Amino acid sequence: MALTDVGVRSAKPTGKLYRLFDERGMYLEVSATGGKWWRFKYRFQGKEKRLSLGVYPDIGLKDAREQRDEMRKLLAKGVDPGEHKKAKKAATLERATNSFEVVAREWFARQSPGWAQSHADKVVQRLEKDIFPWLGGRPIEEVGAPELLTVIRRIEERGAKDTAHRAMQNCGQVFRYAVATGRAERDPSADLRGALPPVRRENFASITEPAKVAELLRAIDGFRGTFVVKSALLLAPLIFVRPGELRKAQWSGFDLEKAEWRYLVTKTKTEHLVPLAVQAVEILRELHALTGHGTYVFPGRDPKKPMSEAAVNAALRRMGYDTKTEITGHGFRAMARTILHEELHFRPEVIEHQLAHKVPDSLGSAYNRTKFLKDRRVMMQRWADYLVALKAGGQVTSIDKCT
């Protein structure tokens, strides 16, 4: 006789395994302790086989029968239900291991060791916040251009246009990695070129008028903050390196006797040499008495870590400067580039090399840390002397072009 809901529910343990049979090969197996499993018994190519249909009460009598009927349909088509179930499970597992998030994290793990930590943090945060909640669980090969655009548009609609473009770029990198590793056929982000409005790029705020630079330098002299932060402010215009490179500077890279600083540029992974003017060496010698026993030139509250990323900009704001419209820590680079060329008439290629920018030459070398080194030493000292005279309010005349 066929099983009933009441009969299944009331089946009690007897201390040993027993079975209650339904129709067409299905039965309920009751364990010695009372556990209940649905089973389907069938024959395929002359061999008797059994297949689990789930656990009661998670799977009720009606659902178990529906599964059984599906299995019988497969048998009628010459398909082994057990092998079919294994294939479906394997396909599901493969889809899960090839989801967008799994592939993206694999791509990130391979690429991020070569990035600056701040950049790596921004990329993974962008993916986790704006992409994974909607695409993370999707098989990467099934994600198409319209679905990707919908996700990117969510970012754009909240006003984060630059983030939307960067997220699109990151997704394209993930898709291309999936193509390279055989988990996708193509990169759908390529179909979305022009789908997002362009972002208006704004340069870092900077002061490039000599008279206003003089005011800034005098304000730095009068800054009432920690000695470490003030030293960073005094040194920033003299050496005009990237803010991250300044705050992470380590004493091991400095040779104050030779008046030079060597370090690895995080953006390009190239070695860079900064000739130090007399004024810069003086600032560093004074600072060395305070922080020279540690790793970092500008340590933070925790001496084992560098100064905060926001420290210089926060100091500029305390001095009354708007870091969005007037000057930022990065703005000292534009200040030097502009005045060195327009006021002191140094050659652009000499300035660009000192800024650690890639400047291809006739030999094809993009950057050489020692190229124009003699000219750069002269330039850095003249620049420091110029700033001293400017701050003092003296008459600063143009200097002949460096040859």
Catalytic residues: 242, 267, 330, 333, 357, 367
Phi, psi torsion values for 114, nearest 5 degrees: -95, 5
Query: Nearest to residue 108, comparing CAs of 98, 119, 97?
Result: 119
**How far apart are alpha carbons 70 and 59 in whole angstroms?**
15
Query: Nearest to residue 239, comparing CAs of 394, 393, 342, 377?
Result: 377
Going by the DSSP 8-state scheme, the letter that residue 30 receives in this structure is E
Strand order of the β-sheet with 36-44 is 18-21, 26-30, 36-44, 47-56
Q: Strand, helix or coil at 48?
A: strand
Query: Which segments of 127-224 does DSSP mark as H helices, in order?
Result: 132-135, 145-157, 161-180, 210-221
**Residue 343, burial from CB neighbour count under 10 angstroms (0-12, 13-18, 19+):** middle
**Residue 222, burial from CB neighbour count under 10 angstroms (0-12, 13-18, 19+):** exposed
Other residues' Cβ atoms within 10 Å of the Cβ of residue 280:
22
8 A C-beta contact, residue 148 and residue 140: no
